[in-house]
Amino acid sequence: MTAFNFDHKVAVVTGSGTGIGLEIAKQLVQGGASVVINDIDKQKADAAMQLIQSIGRCEAVIGDSSDLNCIRSLVDTAVASFGHLDIVVANSGITTFGKFLEYDQKEFKKLVDVNLQGSFFLAQEGAKRMIKTNSGGRILFMSSVTGHQAHPNLSAYGMTKAALEMLAKSLAVELAEYKITVNAVAPGATLTERTKQEDPNYQEVWENLIPVGDIATPADIANAALFLLSEESRQITGQSIIVDGGWTSYSPAPGYLKKEK
Ligand SMILES: NC(=O)c1ccc[n+]([C@@H]2O[C@H](COP(=O)([O-])OP(=O)(O)OC[C@H]3O[C@@H](n4cnc5c(N)ncnc54)[C@H](O)[C@@H]3O)[C@@H](O)[C@H]2O)c1
Protein backbone atom coordinates (compact mmCIF):
# COMPACT_ATOMS: atom_id res chain seq x y z
CA MET A 1 0.00 0.00 0.00
CA THR A 2 1.15 3.54 -0.75
CA ALA A 3 -0.41 6.91 0.06
CA PHE A 4 -1.47 7.34 -3.58
CA ASN A 5 -3.33 5.16 -6.03
CA PHE A 6 -1.63 4.32 -9.32
CA ASP A 7 -4.07 1.65 -10.54
CA HIS A 8 -4.02 1.41 -14.39
CA LYS A 9 -1.05 3.82 -14.61
CA VAL A 10 2.00 2.90 -16.66
CA ALA A 11 5.39 4.35 -15.81
CA VAL A 12 8.97 4.39 -17.07
CA VAL A 13 11.77 5.01 -14.54
CA THR A 14 15.39 5.28 -15.74
CA GLY A 15 18.45 4.25 -13.72
CA SER A 16 16.21 2.14 -11.53
CA GLY A 17 18.29 -0.99 -10.94
CA THR A 18 19.31 0.36 -7.52
CA GLY A 19 19.01 3.43 -5.30
CA ILE A 20 16.37 6.12 -5.57
CA GLY A 21 15.05 4.95 -8.96
CA LEU A 22 14.48 1.41 -7.70
CA GLU A 23 12.56 2.73 -4.70
CA ILE A 24 10.37 4.95 -6.91
CA ALA A 25 9.65 2.04 -9.27
CA LYS A 26 8.86 -0.27 -6.34
CA GLN A 27 6.51 2.22 -4.69
CA LEU A 28 4.71 2.89 -8.00
CA VAL A 29 4.09 -0.84 -8.42
CA GLN A 30 2.97 -1.12 -4.78
CA GLY A 31 0.48 1.64 -5.62
CA GLY A 32 -0.91 -0.39 -8.54
CA ALA A 33 1.13 0.88 -11.52
CA SER A 34 2.87 -1.18 -14.19
CA VAL A 35 6.49 -0.09 -14.54
CA VAL A 36 9.29 -0.35 -17.07
CA ILE A 37 12.59 -0.10 -15.26
CA ASN A 38 15.99 0.57 -16.83
CA ASP A 39 19.63 0.16 -15.96
CA ILE A 40 22.89 0.18 -17.86
CA ASP A 41 24.00 -2.74 -15.70
CA LYS A 42 22.25 -5.99 -16.71
CA GLN A 43 22.74 -7.71 -13.36
CA LYS A 44 21.21 -4.79 -11.48
CA ALA A 45 18.31 -4.52 -13.93
CA ASP A 46 17.58 -8.26 -13.73
CA ALA A 47 17.72 -8.31 -9.92
CA ALA A 48 15.46 -5.25 -9.68
CA MET A 49 12.97 -6.69 -12.16
CA GLN A 50 12.77 -9.95 -10.20
CA LEU A 51 12.23 -8.05 -6.96
CA ILE A 52 9.50 -5.82 -8.41
CA GLN A 53 7.79 -8.68 -10.26
CA SER A 54 7.25 -10.31 -6.86
CA ILE A 55 5.02 -7.31 -6.07
CA GLY A 56 3.37 -6.59 -9.43
CA ARG A 57 3.86 -5.82 -13.11
CA CYS A 58 7.35 -4.87 -14.29
CA GLU A 59 9.50 -5.12 -17.41
CA ALA A 60 13.12 -4.06 -17.82
CA VAL A 61 15.05 -2.41 -20.62
CA ILE A 62 18.80 -2.75 -20.24
CA GLY A 63 20.79 0.12 -21.73
CA ASP A 64 22.23 3.59 -21.44
CA SER A 65 19.45 6.07 -20.65
CA SER A 66 21.29 8.83 -22.55
CA ASP A 67 20.99 6.83 -25.78
CA LEU A 68 18.01 7.78 -27.94
CA ASN A 69 17.45 4.17 -29.06
CA CYS A 70 17.25 3.09 -25.42
CA ILE A 71 14.79 5.91 -24.69
CA ARG A 72 12.55 4.86 -27.60
CA SER A 73 12.77 1.25 -26.49
CA LEU A 74 11.66 2.23 -22.96
CA VAL A 75 8.59 4.03 -24.24
CA ASP A 76 7.82 1.32 -26.82
CA THR A 77 8.12 -1.40 -24.16
CA ALA A 78 5.70 0.45 -21.88
CA VAL A 79 3.12 0.66 -24.64
CA ALA A 80 3.70 -2.87 -26.01
CA SER A 81 3.63 -4.53 -22.58
CA PHE A 82 1.08 -2.41 -20.73
CA GLY A 83 -0.92 -0.56 -23.40
CA HIS A 84 -0.10 3.12 -22.83
CA LEU A 85 2.16 5.52 -20.92
CA ASP A 86 1.22 7.95 -18.12
CA ILE A 87 4.39 8.67 -16.14
CA VAL A 88 8.06 9.15 -16.95
CA VAL A 89 10.72 9.57 -14.29
CA ALA A 90 14.09 10.75 -15.64
CA ASN A 91 15.97 9.51 -12.60
CA SER A 92 19.24 8.42 -14.19
CA GLY A 93 22.11 10.69 -13.31
CA ILE A 94 25.84 10.39 -12.76
CA THR A 95 27.88 12.36 -10.23
CA THR A 96 31.38 13.16 -11.37
CA PHE A 97 33.49 15.16 -8.98
CA GLY A 98 36.29 17.42 -10.19
CA LYS A 99 37.86 20.79 -9.70
CA PHE A 100 36.57 23.34 -12.23
CA LEU A 101 40.09 24.32 -13.38
CA GLU A 102 40.98 20.71 -14.13
CA TYR A 103 37.64 19.35 -15.36
CA ASP A 104 38.08 17.07 -18.34
CA GLN A 105 36.01 17.53 -21.53
CA LYS A 106 35.33 13.81 -21.93
CA GLU A 107 33.90 13.62 -18.41
CA PHE A 108 31.89 16.78 -19.08
CA LYS A 109 30.32 15.32 -22.22
CA LYS A 110 29.40 12.06 -20.48
CA LEU A 111 27.85 13.95 -17.59
CA VAL A 112 25.79 16.18 -19.87
CA ASP A 113 24.77 13.18 -22.01
CA VAL A 114 23.37 11.20 -19.06
CA ASN A 115 22.04 13.99 -16.84
CA LEU A 116 20.66 16.30 -19.54
CA GLN A 117 20.38 14.66 -22.95
CA GLY A 118 18.83 11.49 -21.48
CA SER A 119 16.36 13.43 -19.33
CA PHE A 120 15.42 15.88 -22.11
CA PHE A 121 14.70 13.23 -24.72
CA LEU A 122 12.97 10.85 -22.33
CA ALA A 123 10.61 13.71 -21.50
CA GLN A 124 10.14 14.41 -25.22
CA GLU A 125 9.44 10.79 -26.21
CA GLY A 126 7.22 10.31 -23.16
CA ALA A 127 5.22 13.47 -23.83
CA LYS A 128 4.68 12.55 -27.50
CA ARG A 129 3.26 9.21 -26.41
CA MET A 130 1.05 10.74 -23.71
CA ILE A 131 -0.31 13.32 -26.16
CA LYS A 132 -1.32 10.54 -28.59
CA THR A 133 -3.73 9.10 -26.01
CA ASN A 134 -4.87 12.52 -24.79
CA SER A 135 -5.01 11.39 -21.17
CA GLY A 136 -2.57 13.79 -19.54
CA GLY A 137 0.52 12.61 -17.72
CA ARG A 138 3.37 13.21 -15.32
CA ILE A 139 7.02 13.94 -16.03
CA LEU A 140 9.53 14.07 -13.18
CA PHE A 141 13.22 15.04 -13.27
CA MET A 142 15.71 14.03 -10.60
CA SER A 143 17.54 17.17 -9.57
CA SER A 144 19.76 17.71 -6.52
CA VAL A 145 20.47 20.29 -3.84
CA THR A 146 23.63 20.97 -5.86
CA GLY A 147 21.35 22.60 -8.43
CA HIS A 148 20.45 25.17 -5.76
CA GLN A 149 23.67 25.78 -3.87
CA ALA A 150 27.36 25.55 -4.74
CA HIS A 151 29.20 22.44 -3.62
CA PRO A 152 32.94 21.87 -3.82
CA ASN A 153 34.08 19.95 -6.92
CA LEU A 154 30.56 19.66 -8.31
CA SER A 155 30.31 22.66 -10.66
CA ALA A 156 29.47 20.60 -13.75
CA TYR A 157 27.10 18.25 -11.91
CA GLY A 158 25.35 21.15 -10.14
CA MET A 159 24.96 22.94 -13.47
CA THR A 160 23.15 19.93 -14.98
CA LYS A 161 20.79 19.73 -12.00
CA ALA A 162 19.95 23.45 -12.11
CA ALA A 163 19.29 23.05 -15.84
CA LEU A 164 16.82 20.22 -15.18
CA GLU A 165 14.80 22.48 -12.90
CA MET A 166 14.65 25.16 -15.61
CA LEU A 167 13.61 22.48 -18.07
CA ALA A 168 10.77 21.46 -15.73
CA LYS A 169 9.52 25.07 -15.71
CA SER A 170 9.74 25.41 -19.50
CA LEU A 171 7.97 22.12 -20.15
CA ALA A 172 5.35 22.86 -17.51
CA VAL A 173 4.24 25.71 -19.74
CA GLU A 174 4.66 23.92 -23.09
CA LEU A 175 2.85 20.77 -22.00
CA ALA A 176 0.12 22.32 -19.84
CA GLU A 177 -2.42 22.26 -22.66
CA TYR A 178 -2.05 18.46 -22.74
CA LYS A 179 -2.61 18.14 -18.98
CA ILE A 180 0.94 16.91 -18.52
CA THR A 181 2.65 18.22 -15.38
CA VAL A 182 6.42 18.50 -15.17
CA ASN A 183 8.25 18.74 -11.85
CA ALA A 184 11.52 17.87 -10.15
CA VAL A 185 12.66 16.41 -6.86
CA ALA A 186 15.96 17.66 -5.46
CA PRO A 187 17.47 15.21 -2.98
CA GLY A 188 20.08 16.17 -0.43
CA ALA A 189 22.46 13.63 1.06
CA THR A 190 20.82 10.25 0.49
CA LEU A 191 22.11 6.88 1.57
CA THR A 192 22.28 4.62 -1.49
CA GLU A 193 24.61 1.77 -2.45
CA ARG A 194 26.66 4.28 -4.43
CA THR A 195 27.02 6.93 -1.72
CA LYS A 196 27.88 4.21 0.84
CA GLN A 197 30.52 2.87 -1.53
CA GLU A 198 31.96 6.34 -2.20
CA ASP A 199 32.34 6.96 1.55
CA PRO A 200 31.87 4.26 4.19
CA ASN A 201 31.31 7.07 6.74
CA TYR A 202 28.76 8.81 4.51
CA GLN A 203 25.98 8.77 7.11
CA GLU A 204 28.09 10.05 10.03
CA VAL A 205 29.78 12.75 7.93
CA TRP A 206 26.63 14.18 6.38
CA GLU A 207 24.14 13.89 9.22
CA ASN A 208 26.22 16.43 11.16
CA LEU A 209 25.37 19.03 8.53
CA ILE A 210 21.65 18.34 8.39
CA PRO A 211 19.27 20.17 10.75
CA VAL A 212 16.92 17.20 11.22
CA GLY A 213 19.98 15.18 12.24
CA ASP A 214 19.64 12.41 9.69
CA ILE A 215 20.37 11.84 6.04
CA ALA A 216 17.64 10.77 3.62
CA THR A 217 16.82 7.23 2.57
CA PRO A 218 15.68 6.42 -0.99
CA ALA A 219 12.18 6.03 0.49
CA ASP A 220 12.24 9.68 1.70
CA ILE A 221 12.94 10.80 -1.86
CA ALA A 222 10.41 8.38 -3.38
CA ASN A 223 7.69 9.66 -1.02
CA ALA A 224 8.03 13.17 -2.50
CA ALA A 225 8.29 11.77 -6.03
CA LEU A 226 5.12 9.73 -5.67
CA PHE A 227 3.14 12.76 -4.58
CA LEU A 228 4.28 14.68 -7.67
CA LEU A 229 3.38 11.67 -9.84
CA SER A 230 -0.07 11.23 -8.32
CA GLU A 231 -3.43 12.57 -9.50
CA GLU A 232 -3.56 14.61 -6.28
CA SER A 233 -0.76 16.92 -7.49
CA ARG A 234 -2.54 18.00 -10.68
CA GLN A 235 -2.23 21.73 -9.85
CA ILE A 236 1.52 21.52 -9.21
CA THR A 237 3.73 21.97 -12.25
CA GLY A 238 7.11 23.55 -12.96
CA GLN A 239 8.15 23.05 -9.32
CA SER A 240 10.93 21.35 -7.46
CA ILE A 241 10.63 19.77 -4.02
CA ILE A 242 13.87 19.83 -2.05
CA VAL A 243 14.16 16.78 0.23
CA ASP A 244 17.20 17.54 2.36
CA GLY A 245 16.26 17.65 6.06
CA GLY A 246 16.70 21.43 6.03
CA TRP A 247 20.28 21.34 4.77
CA THR A 248 19.86 24.10 2.16
CA SER A 249 17.70 26.26 4.44
CA TYR A 250 20.51 27.66 6.54
CA SER A 251 23.52 29.78 5.71
CA PRO A 252 26.82 28.45 7.00
CA ALA A 253 27.57 30.39 10.21
CA PRO A 254 29.56 29.31 13.24
CA GLY A 255 27.45 27.60 15.89
CA TYR A 256 24.25 27.59 13.83
CA LEU A 257 23.60 23.91 14.31
CA LYS A 258 23.34 22.77 17.93
CA LYS A 259 25.55 19.74 17.32
CA GLU A 260 28.44 21.85 15.93
CA LYS A 261 31.30 22.03 18.38
N1 LIG B 1 22.15 9.59 -3.73
C2 LIG B 1 22.19 10.89 -3.47
O3 LIG B 1 22.66 11.32 -2.41
C4 LIG B 1 21.63 11.88 -4.48
C5 LIG B 1 21.56 13.23 -4.11
C6 LIG B 1 21.07 14.15 -5.02
C7 LIG B 1 20.63 13.73 -6.26
N8 LIG B 1 20.70 12.43 -6.61
C9 LIG B 1 20.23 12.05 -7.95
O10 LIG B 1 19.26 11.02 -7.84
C11 LIG B 1 19.36 10.13 -8.97
C12 LIG B 1 19.56 8.72 -8.48
O13 LIG B 1 20.65 8.70 -7.59
P14 LIG B 1 21.20 7.34 -6.94
O15 LIG B 1 22.24 7.73 -5.95
O16 LIG B 1 20.05 6.50 -6.55
O17 LIG B 1 21.87 6.70 -8.25
P18 LIG B 1 23.03 5.63 -8.41
O19 LIG B 1 24.31 6.31 -8.71
O20 LIG B 1 22.99 4.68 -7.26
O21 LIG B 1 22.56 4.91 -9.74
C22 LIG B 1 21.33 4.22 -9.81
C23 LIG B 1 21.39 3.26 -10.97
O24 LIG B 1 21.55 3.97 -12.21
C25 LIG B 1 22.30 3.18 -13.08
N26 LIG B 1 22.86 4.01 -14.14
C27 LIG B 1 23.92 4.84 -14.10
N28 LIG B 1 24.11 5.43 -15.30
C29 LIG B 1 23.14 4.95 -16.12
C30 LIG B 1 22.80 5.18 -17.48
N31 LIG B 1 23.52 6.01 -18.25
N32 LIG B 1 21.73 4.53 -17.98
C33 LIG B 1 21.00 3.67 -17.23
N34 LIG B 1 21.29 3.41 -15.94
C35 LIG B 1 22.34 4.05 -15.40
C36 LIG B 1 23.34 2.54 -12.17
O37 LIG B 1 23.88 1.35 -12.73
C38 LIG B 1 22.56 2.29 -10.90
O39 LIG B 1 22.06 0.97 -10.79
C40 LIG B 1 20.52 10.68 -9.82
O41 LIG B 1 20.00 11.51 -10.83
C42 LIG B 1 21.33 11.49 -8.84
O43 LIG B 1 22.05 12.54 -9.47
C44 LIG B 1 21.19 11.48 -5.75
Tens-binned pLDDT, residue by residue, of the chain (261 aa): 689 999 999 999 999 999 999 999 999 999 999 999 999 999 999 999 999 999 999 999 999 999 999 999 999 999 999 999 999 999 999 999 999 999 999 999 999 999 999 999 999 999 999 999 999 999 999 999 999 999 999 999 999 999 999 999 999 999 999 999 999 999 999 999 999 999 999 999 999 999 999 999 999 999 999 999 999 999 999 999 999 999 999 887 777 776 665
Of residues 19, 27, 79, 68, the one with CA closest to residue 45: 19
Distance CA(261)–CA(258), nearest Å, equals 8
Distance 195 CA to ligand 1 centre (A): 10
The CATH code of domain 10-243 reads 3.40.50.720
Q: Is 137 helix (H, G, I), strand (E, B) or coil?
A: strand
List the residue whose alpha carbon is closest to atom 36 of ligand 1.
15
Q: Is 38 in the pocket of ligand 1 (CB under 6 A)?
A: yes
| Active-site residue, 161 included | yes
List the residue whose alpha carbon is closest to atom 3 of ligand 1.
190
Distance 206 CA to ligand 1 centre (A): 18
Query: What pLDDT is attached to residue 91?
Result: 98
Query: What pLDDT is attached to residue 4?
Result: 97
- Cα angle: 1, vertex 176, 5; to 5 degrees: 10
Distance 64 CA to ligand 1 centre (A): 12
SS3 per-residue string spanning 28-60: HHHCCCEEEEEECCHHHHHHHHHHHHCCCCEEE
Choice among 161, 202, 230, 240 that is catalytic: 161
Query: What pLDDT is attached to residue 2?
Result: 84
> Ligand 1, from 12, 38, 40, 52: best to mutate by most atoms within 8 Å of Cβ?
40
Distance 216 CA to ligand 1 centre (A): 15
| Active-site residue, 16 included | no
